[in-house]
Structure 1
Amino acid sequence: MATAHSLNSTLRSFIERQPMFFVATADVAGRVNVSPKGMETLRVVDDTHVRWLNLSGSGNETAAHVQTTGRMTLMFCAFEGPAMILRLYGQAKVWHPRDEHWQSLLADFPDIAGSRQVFDLSIDLVQTSCGTGVPLMDFKANRADVELVPFYEKMGEDGVRDYWRRKNMLTIDGKPTGIFDEL
């Protein structure tokens, strides 16, 4: 296991090759949340800073956790090629479509129906480990391209906002996610 306080060109290249990553967050009390992410929604801004576009889903735990603690860990696993696990630890901020910087943040990402938040992670620790326990798997396609994105495209913008009201306003622990200004 090796640690550092920033990325380097080797780790940046590793991140860019990964078709998926995992995000972990927790509030001061309640459940820890771990979610898989993908679809080219992550951008390395510099060696101590990454952003990722969060798409709508059945829950919204990450936003609530980041609002209260700011703590976030991203994990990347090599499912192909040489074994490695990379974790990025740090403090995050969440940006919503109502926020002033939303449009400028979106400029770095593809236009994807159901885009819900942008998370901005300031890295304070980078950790690599061997990853020899991670299985070798072949990447075939992004499931989201054929299932998730068409689902939200069909809903349209108003339908997505209605979905957020029904499914994304509270965490599974009953805490507000901040998806809208009001609860």
Structure 2
Amino acid sequence: MAREFSCLDEALRRFIRAQAMFFVATAPSDGGRVNLSPKGYRDTFAILDDHTVAYLDLFGSGVETISHLRDNGRITIMFCSFTRNSRILRLFGSGRVVRPDDPEFIDLRTHFGLEHPGIRAVIVIDVERIADACGYSVPYYELVGERSVLDAHHAEQSDEKFARRIGGDNGHSVDGLPALDPDHPLPSAVPRVMR
């Protein structure tokens, strides 16, 4: 059944690379809504070392993850196998937001694959707990392919439109927490979550 792991060893890395999608969960500190987001495009997730992962955060309809990370840093990533071998893997940790105007962004960007338009940030996670579960009740699904819809949509957008979104629908979470609001710059560090 459930096991805990000390690091992202090669077997876990193979499992992560084999998944076509992952899920991101965050929540604000004081009430508010829990956010759970599915993420696609295999080349948008990277394992940086045994205890650090990152993913490309693309512009979307909301900005809850960034708001919640600004608030408390807590984040969980879940990988779920829908194939013959059932398994769920969760990475619990502390996340931080690295924007394209941050000098660290250039180095982080080299860990990802194809060029994706509409990159809002890189989310870097210090993994504090790695645990799996059986996933015995997860149904079988067959992967048909990746959707190119988001990339195609972003490719048609102007830089000015992305800039307007930073102060618009990407300025705050649905609960009013600051996200990309230019009047509330990102903190330089997010406090680590205690184990």
Question: What TM-score results when the alignment is normalised by the length of structure 1?
Answer: 0.93
Structure-1 residue corresponding to 2:124? 120
Q: Which residue of 1 aligns with 2:62?
A: 59
Paired residue secondary structure (1:31): coil
**Given residue 177 of structure 2, which amino acid in structure 1 is its aligned partner?**
K
Q: CA RMSD in A?
A: 1.3
Aligned residue number for residue 73 of structure 2: 70
The equivalent residue for 2:83 is: 80
Q: Distance in 2 between matches of 1:162 and 1:133?
A: 43
CA gap of 1:130–1:38, structure 2 versus 1, over 3 A, is same
The 8 Å contact of residues 79 and 134 in structure 1, kept in 2 or not, is answered as yes
TM-score by length of 2: 0.88
Task: Write out the 4+ residue segments of structure 1 that deviate beyond 6 Å after TM superposition.
Answer: none
Please name the residue that 1:136 is paired with.
140
CA distance in 1, matches of 2:162, 2:171: 13
| Residue 180 (structure 1) shift | 4.6
Separation in structure 2 between the aligned mates of residue 106 and residue 158 of structure 1, nearest angstrom: 22
Instruction: Name 1:171's counterpart in structure 2.
Output: 173
**Mapped partners of 1:78, 1:113: distance in 2:** 28
C-alpha deviation, 1:122, in angstroms: 0.8
Report the CA distance between 1:84 and its aligned residue: 0.2
The answer to whether the 8 Å contact 2:170/2:181 transfers is: no
Q: Give the secondary structure class of the aligned counterpart of 1:139.
A: coil
Where structure 2 has 5 or more consecutive residues not aligned to the other structure, the ranges are: 185-195
**Is the CA contact (8 Å cut-off) linking 1:5 and 1:123 kept in structure 2?**
no
Count of residues in correspondence between the two structures: 180
